[in-house]
Amino acid sequence: MTIPPYHWWRTVFFLIPAIGLYTIVLGTISLLSTLFDRSGDFGHQCARAWASLILRTTGVRVTVTGASCVDPQRSYVFAANHQSIYDIPIVFTSLPFQLRIVAKASLGRVPFLGWHLSRTGHLLVDRQRPGAGVVSKMAKLVSVRHSLIVFPEGTRSTDGTVARFKRGPFILALEAGVPIVPVSIAGSRQVMTKGQLMVCPGDVSMTIHPPIETRDVPRDAVRELADRVREVIRRGVDESHVRR
């Protein structure tokens, strides 16, 4: 019988209970806040506090470069590569924007986390009717200077490579006329690898690249746009690994 490593024990008996507690407490505060703040802005501050606590408790240190490339007064679609479940707390903590995510509608029924998403303006998509209402919801986000964070690969990478991007998020950006900001995340896979119940402390780098305008991009050029954004992100990930 092989004894699990230290970080497995730390994950199961310390991190999971701690993160569960953070989720219940801050999720409850977020839900209560929607009684007087239907914009979800205060709820997002709760989400940022939740994300920050997770990173601090785990021992994840994030270095951000390129923050001066974006204007806090504008709305963007931030597109990032996806290596770990920790990518969401990483971007929530590191991007000082009112961020919303795109998630499947069934996630809205998950206690606390799903209730928070439903009540604070996140885009919950019915996979049977993926286009239903999404564009109008995106337009509403832009009108109140909210931004969207998407992971166009559609799933977490198992080996660190950046997979081909799906077109959906880029169609959404085109329809809304919102710039796309490529974001490269490197190092999060070593914090928690897909398929493993073990979290380790670590250093993560996040590179924010200059925005790519979408207003003059024709609808039939969506695939080229997705490939262009992917290439920017892929190069950023590779460069981060070289620096490490």
pLDDT (mean) for 204-215: 95
* pLDDT value at residue 53: 98
Using an 8 Å Cβ cutoff, are 27 and 108 in contact? no
Instruction: Give the confidence band of 226 by pLDDT, cuts at 50, 70, 90.
Output: very high
Q: Which of 3-7, 157-161, 203-207, 230-234 has the lowest mean pLDDT?
A: 157-161
pLDDT above 60 for 87:
yes
* pLDDT value at residue 208: 97
* pLDDT value at residue 107: 77
pLDDT (mean) for 117-131: 75
pTM of the model: 0.91
Beta-carbon contacts of 48 under 8 Å, excluding residues fewer than 6 positions away, are 92, 93
pLDDT above 90 for 30:
yes
Handedness of CA 117, 185, 72, 19 (dihedral sign): positive
* pLDDT value at residue 187: 95
* pLDDT value at residue 244: 60
pLDDT tens profile 163-185: 999 998 898 899 888 999 999 99
* pLDDT value at residue 176: 85
Beta-carbon contacts of 98 under 8 Å, excluding residues fewer than 6 positions away, are 40, 41, 44, 144, 145, 146, 147
* pLDDT value at residue 130: 57
* pLDDT value at residue 3: 87
Sort 155 into a burial class: Cβ within 10 Å, 0-12 / 13-18 / 19+: exposed
d(CA 93, CA 45): 10
pLDDT above 70 for 116:
yes
pLDDT tens profile 127-161: 666 555 676 777 777 778 889 999 999 889 888 89
Instruction: Give the confidence band of 113 by pLDDT, cuts at 50, 70, 90.
Output: confident
User: How high does pLDDT run on average in the chain?
Assistant: 90
Instruction: Give the confidence band of 76 by pLDDT, cuts at 50, 70, 90.
Output: very high
pLDDT above 70 for 82:
yes
High-pLDDT (> 70) share of the chain, %: 94
pLDDT (mean) for 28-39: 91
In order, the DSSP letters of the chain are -PPPPHHHHHIIIIIHHHHHHHHHHHHHHHHHHTTT-TT-HHHHHHHHHHHHHHHHHHTEEEEEE-GGGS-TTS--EEEE----TTHHHHHHHH--S-EEEEEEGGGGGSTTHHHHHHHTT-EEE-TTSTTTTHHHHHHHHHHTT-EEEE-TTSS--SSS--PPPPSHHHHHHHHHT--EEEEEEESHHHHS-TT------EEEEEEEPPPB--TT--GGGHHHHHHHHHHHHHHHHHHHHHH-
d(CA 236, CA 161): 12
Handedness of CA 19, 100, 102, 239 (dihedral sign): negative
Going from the N-terminus, what domains does the chain have, and what CATH number goes with each?
A: 6-243 (3.40.1130)
